[in-house]
Amino acid sequence: MSGPAGTTPHASSRAAVLDVIRAAGTISRVGLVKATGFTGATISTVVRRLIDDGLVLETGRAESTGGKRRVLLQLNQSSRFAVGVHLDHAGLTYVLTNLGGSVVARMSRAGVGTDDPPVVVARIATEVDALIDGAGIDRSRILGLGFVTPGPLDQTGGMPLTPPAMRHWEHFPLDRELGAAVGLPVVLENDATAAALGEHWSGDIGGTATFAALYMGTGIGAGLMINGVTYRGAGGNAGEIGHICVDVEGPECWCGARGCTEQLAGPGAVVGAALADPELVRSAGLTSTGERPRRIADFAAITRAALRGDPRARTLLERSARYLAVAARTLANIMDLEQLVLTGPSLAIAGSIYLPVVQEELDRSFFSRATHSVPVRLSRSAATAPAIGAAALVLQSELVPLREGLRLPDNLGDAEPSGQPAVR
Amino acid sequence: MSGPAGTTPHASSRAAVLDVIRAAGTISRVGLVKATGFTGATISTVVRRLIDDGLVLETGRAESTGGKRRVLLQLNQSSRFAVGVHLDHAGLTYVLTNLGGSVVARMSRAGVGTDDPPVVVARIATEVDALIDGAGIDRSRILGLGFVTPGPLDQTGGMPLTPPAMRHWEHFPLDRELGAAVGLPVVLENDATAAALGEHWSGDIGGTATFAALYMGTGIGAGLMINGVTYRGAGGNAGEIGHICVDVEGPECWCGARGCTEQLAGPGAVVGAALADPELVRSAGLTSTGERPRRIADFAAITRAALRGDPRARTLLERSARYLAVAARTLANIMDLEQLVLTGPSLAIAGSIYLPVVQEELDRSFFSRATHSVPVRLSRSAATAPAIGAAALVLQSELVPLREGLRLPDNLGDAEPSGQPAVR
């Protein structure tokens, strides 16, 4: 058994104090003692170092409560930055955030298709340079780069199992190559987990909520937060609801199983069914061909057709939504969730069609519905949540303490190795 | 944000110290300082009180390592006891355990059928008296009673949603009535979560494992442990895999959903299919009738028939096992489990048939199988694990610290209210 977090003033107490200041906005040293349980002497030492390092500022005094007026502390938001990169088959999304997690620059670029990993890594390095230069940020103040891909990731810094379109990425030493190319420490994470963290940092969800981010990009996954802390599971790949079985007699999936959610509900399934319907191809203006699948573009075209009243398009999307809703119910029953957020590029497009179907399923069939409901909402940043979460991962490595019993990236601190993902 | 666990020497540090002593067997005060992160002064104070209360004993000295030989501490196993009661439709199981969780007395009694809750409560009080008297334990040394039923439980101490056979238990104030009748504090828990805790306390699983106990009694559920700590979810009812969908077109379940694991794989489904086959009724010697369902007895008879080579019995059980295996894969994919334990009364009977089917499914289709495998094993105490876990819940309320970010029963300590289950 390792000791309780933060009982001695190591780097993890520094991280804990930073996290409390971030969450509070402004707070006094006495407030920090109360919130963290550290002694006054520890808080005094930690805060002095944070101020010396330029991470925290003193900012006026609190109203008097009879005694001495207390100096307030706040994050020096622009003292440090992080880069977040989200690679999906459909495109690359970049964000640059400050220490508080606010986006100070963003850009989107076309997908990488079947390009070889080294080519993609070189391209990303160039685009990251453009992002940083465009924002006019001094490179020495950038803590690192969070890189987010479809899972699963393994402990060696690569992807041991990939969707067919990314098969050539298997076992590529992504973290090492990318780190060398951009000259920054790299944290890896899967898209859905990063999206959940992005939602958490966006502040739309209570700080200690137990919720899932149901993610749909090219694939389907879920990111899990338990009482405000990322849950990654034994191997770093929890939340793989794209590959849970919703139909034992369903079609075979690329993952080797049968009846997976992704196979039945994913954008690929919707577009595949639409392409088999010549009238819908025409009415929705679909452009995929055998050689050039344009899944997300065609998924968006089908959604637009549905929203303007095309019944064939609507039928396909609602069938997909019903499968996704069943998977959401399974997830809610296993995790006993407080809330569910729909996010990711495909739900940024079609979320308004999926939301009522998922909510209705949970209202009708969530097993513990007599105890509490599970409200579902659409993310306000569904398209960029994974990239924001990627940057937040880097900031967390400076900010968030190693909480006992849960695995967190804290390798910039003094914590023991704690599973995926690691800063390398 | 609440403070890190144990930064001040409240009741939770007492619980943390006790838990470390339990896990270690014997340990010195210096060892406790290292293991908990508390100061020497705190350990000294806490240990002195534990010795004064008779919970901990000094027991000889460790080998010299050059300096002074250190006094070793251990739990005073017989200083406190707890009662665990498991109510399943098929029967009542009672255990009495000492402070270390070892069973010192056990008994099994017939199920409660359709008896009214007040009648059942009176009967349990009498049977608990018999258990305690038979063991010759002084009642003042019994910390409380853990009571375990099919879930879900709610925050008001009753069951808001029950299987059809227990419908008359809905909203019965179980904890209050039972507490009054037996004269002990009562902790409530669902059967599967208690079974997971029972497996954890049995010591067969690593102390910080992330695992699930896949439970099959009359119903199906799962108990979840994350890094050695019980995971209950937002409302106290996580792990309801009996009611996850494995077939969107499957039959309707009593819970209101369609294609639930329990409806397709549970003992009720196996016995129901067997009763429709006159030849199997004869060859297996089934005795259920419309008025008197004897599900577990008949499930056991079908299992015996299968084990002596009856192909009709084997076909039914293997079909059930395949559905259970698919649910196990879904659970493993969502939680990214390290291990899976098969437990509960029905798997105590038929586990040898289910185990290879579940293991094969995970070996073939667990999504992150390239990262790690998920070994499946059969519990050594499948029939009594829920009752042992029920008693452990009571002991935990004395032993286990409130770990930040996870909900634990700690209401005997100074911790803040932390969700289900509560000692009332």
Mean pLDDT of A323-337: 96
Q: What is the CA radius of gyration of chain B?
A: 22
SS3 A281: helix
Spatial CB neighbours of A408, under 8 Å, sequence gap ≥ 6: A229, A230, A396, A400, A401, A402, A415, A418
Q: Residue A56 and residue A78: Cα distance in Å, rounded?
A: 10
Alpha helices in A53-159 (DSSP H): 117-135
Contact: A368, B235; criterion CB under 8 Å: yes
Residues of B in contact with A33 (CB under 8 A): none
Contact: A257, B367; criterion CB under 8 Å: yes
Q: Å from A127 to nearest chain B CA?
A: 31
Contact: B336, A244; criterion CB under 8 Å: no
Contact: A329, B245; criterion CB under 8 Å: yes
Report the 10 Å Cβ neighbour count for A229.
22
Residues of B in contact with A238 (CB under 8 A): 334-336
Contact: B371, A237; criterion CB under 8 Å: yes
Q: What are phi and psi of A342, to 5 degrees?
A: -90, 125
Q: What strand order describes the sheet that includes B186-190?
A: B103-110, B91-98, B81-88, B142-149, B186-190
Contact: B240, A367; criterion CB under 8 Å: yes
What percent of chain A is modeled with pLDDT above 70? 84
Spatial CB neighbours of A36, under 8 Å, sequence gap ≥ 6: A6, A13, A16, A17, A20, A43, B1, B3, B4, B7
* Closest Cα in chain B to A245: B246
Mode of pairing for the β-strands spanning A220-226 and A211-216: antiparallel
Contact: B331, A333; criterion CB under 8 Å: no
pLDDT the model gives residue A156: 57
Substitution target in A170, A225, A248, A360 with the highest count of B β-carbons within 10 Å is A248
From A10-14, A132-136, A261-265, A400-404, the region with the lowest mean pLDDT: A400-404
Q: Å from B417 to nearest chain A CA?
A: 14
Which amino acid belongs to residue A194?
Answer: A
Residue A303 contacts residue A353 (beta carbons within 8 Å): yes
Contact: A155, B371; criterion CB under 8 Å: yes
Q: Which has the higher per-residue pLDDT, A290 or B196?
A: B196
Residue A75 contacts residue A55 (beta carbons within 8 Å): yes
Measure CA B170 to chain center.
21
Report the 10 Å Cβ neighbour count for A228.
18
Q: Is the pLDDT of residue A379 over 90?
A: yes
Which amino acid belongs to residue A236?
Answer: G
Q: Find the CB nearest A232 among B34, B331, B336.
A: B336
Q: Residue A2 and residue B226: Cα distance in Å, rounded?
A: 15
Residues of A in contact with B227 (CB under 8 A): 405-407
Residues of B in contact with A152 (CB under 8 A): 367-368, 370-371
Mean pLDDT of A246-261: 89
pLDDT the model gives residue B249: 85
pLDDT, one tens digit per residue, over A148-201 is 988 666 655 566 556 666 777 777 888 889 999 999 999 888 899 999 999 888
Measure CA B190 to chain center.
7
Reported as a pLDDT band with limits 50, 70 and 90, residue A14 is: confident
DSSP code per residue over B157-226: SSBSS--GGGGGGBT--HHHHHHHHHTS-EEEEEHHHHHHHHHHHHTSS-TT--EEEEEESSSEEEEEEE
Report the 10 Å Cβ neighbour count for A203.
10
pLDDT the model gives residue B155: 53
Contact: A4, B7; criterion CB under 8 Å: yes
pLDDT the model gives residue A288: 80
ipTM score above 0.85? no
Q: Which has the higher per-residue pLDDT, A270 or A3?
A: A270
pLDDT the model gives residue B237: 87
Q: Residue A330 and residue A203: Cα distance in Å, rounded?
A: 26
Of B145, B194, B238, whose CA–CA distance to B381 is shortest?
B194
Contact: A371, B154; criterion CB under 8 Å: yes
Of A260, A273, A362, A377, whose CA–CA distance to A315 is shortest?
A273
Q: Residue A92 and residue A390: Cα distance in Å, rounded?
A: 13
Q: Å from B231 to nearest chain A CA?
A: 9
Cβ pairs A/B, distance under 8 A: 244
Q: Residue B274 and residue B292: Cα distance in Å, rounded?
A: 16
Contact: B406, A227; criterion CB under 8 Å: yes
* Closest Cα in chain B to A402: B4
pLDDT, one tens digit per residue, over B90-109 is 789 999 999 988 999 999 99
Q: Residue B193 and residue A330: Cα distance in Å, rounded?
A: 18
Q: Find the CB nearest B334 among A246, A334, A405.
A: A334
- The encoded tokens of residue B345 equal 């009364």
Contact: A154, B370; criterion CB under 8 Å: yes
User: How many helical (H) and strand (E) elements, i.e. helices and strands, does chain A have?
Assistant: 13, 13
Mode of pairing for the β-strands spanning A103-110 and A186-190: unpaired
Q: Is the pLDDT of residue A114 over 50?
A: yes
Residue B233 contacts residue B334 (beta carbons within 8 Å): no
* Closest Cα in chain A to B256: A365
Q: Find the CB nearest B1 among A20, A247, A323.
A: A20
Task: State which H helix or E strand residue B334 sits in.
Answer: helix B311-335
* Closest Cα in chain B to A228: B405
Mean pLDDT of A56-84: 84
For chain B, which domains are there? 11-75 (1.10.10.10), 80-198+384-399 (3.30.420.40), 205-378 (3.30.420.40)
- The encoded tokens of residue B283 equal 């060859």
Residues of chain B with pLDDT under 50: 1-11, 401-424
Q: Residue B106 and residue B387: Cα distance in Å, rounded?
A: 9
Of B185, B256, B183, whose CA–CA distance to B409 is shortest?
B185
- Find which of A4-13, A293-302, B162-171, B356-365 is predicted with most confidence, using mean pLDDT: B356-365
pLDDT the model gives residue B292: 63
Q: Residue A322 and residue A19: Cα distance in Å, rounded?
A: 39
Output the average pLDDT for chain A: 84
pLDDT the model gives residue B399: 64
Q: Å from A339 to nearest chain B CA?
A: 9
Q: Sign of dihedral through CA atoms B374, B376, B381, B386? A: positive
pLDDT, one tens digit per residue, over A346-363 is 999 999 999 999 999 999
List the beta bridge partners of residue B378.
B342
Of A370, A409, A1, whose CA–CA distance to A229 is shortest?
A409
Read off the DSSP letter of residue A252: B
Contact: A405, B226; criterion CB under 8 Å: yes
pLDDT, one tens digit per residue, over B248-282 is 888 899 888 889 999 999 999 999 999 999 999 99
